[in-house]
Amino acid sequence: GYRNKFTAITMKKEGVVSGVADLILLKSNSQHSALCIEMKYGKNTQSDKQKEFQQVAEANGNKYVICRSFDEFRIEIESYLNA
């Protein structure tokens, strides 16, 4: 989402990298090496950097999903862990 200049500087100092999924579960299952979750609110869409990260993540055997609610997040996590 939108960040003011101060917040952007603070996040960069903390090591946040633009485009990387919001949450990454570094646990393999029977189908994937890891689960990458991008959280979106409402009708927000992925940035170009997020789309690039998704392509790289999927090309390397990871599952990448976009969740728009806690319920979607919970379902994806449970499904992934039970696969």
What are the residue boundaries of the structural domains of the chain, listed by start? 17-81
Token pair listed for 59: 């090309």
pLDDT digits (tens, 9 = 90+) for 45-80: 999 999 999 999 999 999 999 999 999 999 999 999
* Stretch 15-38: mean pLDDT: 95
- The 3-state DSSP class for residue 36 equals strand
Q: Which residue has the higher pLDDT, 4 or 55?
A: 55
H or E segment to which residue 67 belongs: strand 63-67
